[in-house]
Chains A and B, each alone.
Chain A
Amino acid sequence: MNRIGNIFILCLLSGAFWGAIYGILVTLLALLVSGFEFQPQVIAATAAGIAAAGAMTGRPAAQRTRGTFFAAIACFIGVLLLLTGFKPLGLGLGTYTIGQIIFVALLAWLVVATVEMIGRGYGPATEKRYNVEVVILRFLKSFGLVFFTIAVALPFFVMVMMSLKNQQFLLANPLDFSLDLSVGAAAIFRSYIELFTQYNFGTFLINSTMISIATVVLTLIFAVPGAYAVARLKFPGQDFLSRSILLIYMVPMIVLVIPLYAVFSQMGIRNTLWGLLFVYPATTIPVALYMLQGYFRGIPAELEEAGLMDGLGRMQVILKITLPLALPALASVSLYIFMIAWNEFLFAFMFLDSVNLFTLSRGIAELNTSEVPRQHLMAGAVIATVPVLVLFLWFERFLVAGLTAGSVKG
């Protein structure tokens, strides 16, 4: 049996890669959590990764046991400690001892588990192209997962942590996100409390909620009959409408802003929530109509015809048969519209001048000055993000099904 085959080399390479990447990531994590100035030991971690990969995948696939796994972990830690002179994260083991032990163990486990996953079932000998591709794709996928997770989560992580840290501390040491839990919840959440007590965020929250819910209701009132007509009734222009309704959604908002600003200013409804309640549904109705008509088409027409035969009028058919059947679509469309209205920035920014009318987006824009400390800005961002994110994640499956079903065919 050829012991050094292509799979084995691939595993060594991925061990080196993941040793370096995880070495950097875990060290930075330790740095952010503890506030100590750890330095990533990239070269040592790379070498340790190669050694651990050799120990793990050097054995034939069938013989890799739990023991092999722990041997590889031990091998990683041993090489890392030796090459760094017992400073695995760049500082002596004397400082932050328990934390260092935990982080080094975490690092070793991550590297070995990833390499094990990449090489599982294959190697170490030369294998055919299919298996090589599987190993390479596993490597790419593990890289992709780590890359996307960090890229997506980092801004949110920074948002939350900055909202909890005092600006003075962060200016002195921008990487120290450690939280001193002993100071108590009131001190940690101080910026949130101040936003609600001194910056009217309670009002903004209520305004945003009211506007968003009203937009959803208005949109549905307009879009449901329209969608029903487009989906079910025959009339000249039906085909054209069902194709072109989405074109409205392509019109740039910025082109509408100047005329609406001018006209609303002269009519005296610019700096009012009514003005927003006029604009928001108009921009959401086309997309709601489009999504709903896609769903209505999927409801068997026989059900409605049965209702018609039994003496219901068209309106009653819509209310008693179509709408109950379309509840999932209504829910997902509502959620989507709520999200659009809640997140809307441009019109809120252009239209609203009075503080007591601000929506959350508008209120946060006001915090972006040098007079307001950063933790307030980030706390405002968190306050605006959490409700819509929670709502979305809660109903995610619902929303995804509705979003994609209405608009994507086949």
Chain B
Amino acid sequence: MSKPTPPKGLGPLAKREMRFAYALLLPTFLVVLSVVLFPLLANFWIAFKPIQLGDLRTPSVLVNERLMDKLETVGAEGDIRYRVRNSSRKSDIEDIVMTDTVPASLTILSVDERCIQDGQNLTCDLGDYEGGKREDIIVRVAATQAFVDAPDNIKDTKPVFEFVPENALLSGDFTFENFSKLFDSSDFWPVLWASLYYTIFGTLGALVMGLFAAQLLNMSFRGRSILRGLFLSPYVAPVIAVAFAWVLLLDAGPGGTLNALLQQLGVIEAPINFLGTRAVTLDFGLFTFDFPVALTVVILFEVWRYFPLAFLFILARMQSMSTDIYEAAEIDGATPIQQFWYISLPQLMGILAVLFLLRFIWTFNKFDDIFLLTGGAAGTRTLTVNVYEQAFAVSNLGAGAAVAVVVFAVLLFFALIFFKFSPEDDA
């Protein structure tokens, strides 16, 4: 007698459910595939290509058509010259075919060897043009009486081209130059360090401030909901609006509010260029320290803008804590600070860890904030700003993509570390 075994594989009902689930997920999958996963791979592809921003314009064939001689008598002979060229200096064009119609008032005597004459129609197979190539196609014609009476403008019929342009994105040229230039350049390490400083301090600052703010609003008092709305507003407002408000607030020129305030208070003598000063040297007697001014200010902006997120989640967690444990602690005589340290904080560790992970990655990915505040000047150029700088300011798409690959690699590295050390239960 055979032993009963559990059924193998999925039953018909389970299969139907599976198919239904896949059908529901398919649209999402396709969209994410085309806008996230495909570009991610395409970025690697571009990083290994020598491609400039201008190469995105596909090359085309340009032509200048001219009748070289004046034909004033019947039977006078002259040349029609087609000066054909590749619009791009770098990209090739393949299989160029030109067709044109010569006015009926001109008799075609001879045509270029690549052209075929069919009545007044010309079809010229010009083959392939490499980047920058130009050549002349000559067609010899003789004038008829009609032309002498009323000369046709030969430009009235424009030559038509068929061709296959080379696509700079799809071409077979590959190079390691983008990466070798990137790692050789003197500002690679400063950029990486700026990124790490920005990420670490921005994340920690936002978390600590969020924790502090959550403690403040975890008690009931009049105006609490107004303050909660206010505290969340930096996160809700458009980044471009608040970034420019900060820029004008911190402006070093006349009209900068903060500098004027500090001068009025007598704290500083001359205006400080908060967003334009790379570093000031602080002298502590025993040692000196180059304090990065602009980088600190953009970190402060990051903290200011993203503490609300931490605040929101920490507050939600705190309000879901049971009060029994606090009542028990009260009876046992635990002081408020002890209650915070030994009861609240351990319970908040889970959400703090998750927030740290998310904010760390998002801060590392952040581009707009620094780009709008400083444009990456004065020691605030992070990796993400460098992507833009290389690809669009220097117009070297390949180099930009190479920096983006580094961004992705660093991110992956952190992600692996986090997942290795992260506790199982949360997230």
Q: Which residues of A contact B (CB under 8 A)?
A: 24, 28, 31, 37, 39-40, 129-130, 133-134, 137, 141, 144-145, 148-149, 151-156, 158-159, 162, 167, 170-172, 174-175, 221-223, 225-226, 228-230, 233-236, 238, 241, 248, 250-263, 265-266, 278-279, 281-283, 285-286, 289, 314, 339, 342-343, 345-346, 350, 360-361, 364-365, 368, 374, 377-378, 380-382, 384-385, 388-389, 392-393, 396, 400, 403-404, 407-410
A259-B45, A408-B316 are known; give 8 further A-B pairs, CB within 8 A: A159-B245, A222-B28, A223-B28, A233-B17, A342-B238, A361-B239, A378-B244, A385-B241
Q: In the bound complex, do residue A37 and residue B14 qualify as a contact, i.e. CB atoms below 8 Å apart?
A: no
CB distance from A112 to the nearest CB of B (A): 18
Q: In the bound complex, do residue A361 and residue B240 qualify as a contact, i.e. CB atoms below 8 Å apart?
A: yes
Would you give 6 A-B contacts (Cβ < 8 Å), ordered by A? A144-B212, A144-B213, A229-B22, A255-B387, A388-B237, A392-B232
CB-nearest residue of chain A to B233: A389
Q: Which of B61-69, B72-80, B89-97, B257-265 contacts A (4 or more CB under 8 A)?
A: B257-265
- Taking CB atoms and an 8 Å cut-off, the chain B residues in 364-379 that contact chain A are 364-365, 367-368, 372
B34 within 8 A of A: yes
Q: In the docked arrangement, what's the CA distance between A170 and B251, Å?
A: 12
Known: A174-B254, A258-B43, A381-B245. A149 touches B227 (CB 8 A): yes
Give the top 8 A-B pairs by smallest Cβ distance, nearest first: A282-B35, A381-B241, A259-B42, A252-B365, A225-B24, A404-B316, A259-B39, A233-B21
CB-nearest residue of chain A to B30: A222
Known: A225-B24, A254-B388, A392-B236. A374 touches B35 (CB 8 A): no
Q: In the bound complex, do residue B367 and residue A254 qualify as a contact, i.e. CB atoms below 8 Å apart?
A: yes
Q: In the bound complex, do residue B336 and residue A262 qualify as a contact, i.e. CB atoms below 8 Å apart?
A: no
Q: In the bound complex, do residue A31 and residue B264 qualify as a contact, i.e. CB atoms below 8 Å apart?
A: yes
Q: Which of B136-144, B274-282, B401-409 contacts A (4 or more CB under 8 A)?
A: B401-409
CB-nearest residue of chain B to A40: B265
Q: In the docked arrangement, what's the CA distance between A364 and B39, Å?
A: 28
Count B interface residues, CB 8 Å: 96
Q: Which residues of B contact A (CB under 8 A)?
A: 14, 17-18, 20-22, 24-25, 27-28, 31-32, 34-36, 38-40, 42-43, 45-46, 51, 56, 58, 167, 169, 212-213, 215-216, 219, 225, 227-234, 236-242, 244-246, 248-249, 254-257, 259-261, 264-265, 304, 312-313, 316-317, 320, 333, 335-337, 351, 354, 361-362, 364-365, 367-368, 372, 384, 387-388, 391-392, 397, 400-401, 404-405, 407-408, 411, 415, 426
Determine the chain A residues whose CB is within 8 A of the CB of B391 once the complex forms. Answer: 257-258, 261
CB distance from B8 to the nearest CB of A (A): 14
Q: In the bound complex, do residue B265 and residue A174 qualify as a contact, i.e. CB atoms below 8 Å apart?
A: no
Q: In the bound complex, do residue A226 and residue B24 qualify as a contact, i.e. CB atoms below 8 Å apart?
A: yes
Q: In the bound complex, do residue A262 and residue B397 qualify as a contact, i.e. CB atoms below 8 Å apart?
A: yes
Determine the chain B residues whose CB is within 8 A of the CB of A234 once the complex forms. Answer: 14, 17-18, 21
Q: In the docked arrangement, what's the CA distance between A263 and B354, Å?
A: 35
Determine the chain A residues whose CB is within 8 A of the CB of B231 once the complex forms. Answer: 148, 152
Q: In the bound complex, do residue B56 and residue A374 qualify as a contact, i.e. CB atoms below 8 Å apart?
A: no
Determine the chain B residues whose CB is within 8 A of the CB of A262 once the complex forms. Answer: 42, 46, 51, 56, 169, 397
Q: In the bound complex, do residue A152 and residue B234 qualify as a contact, i.e. CB atoms below 8 Å apart?
A: yes
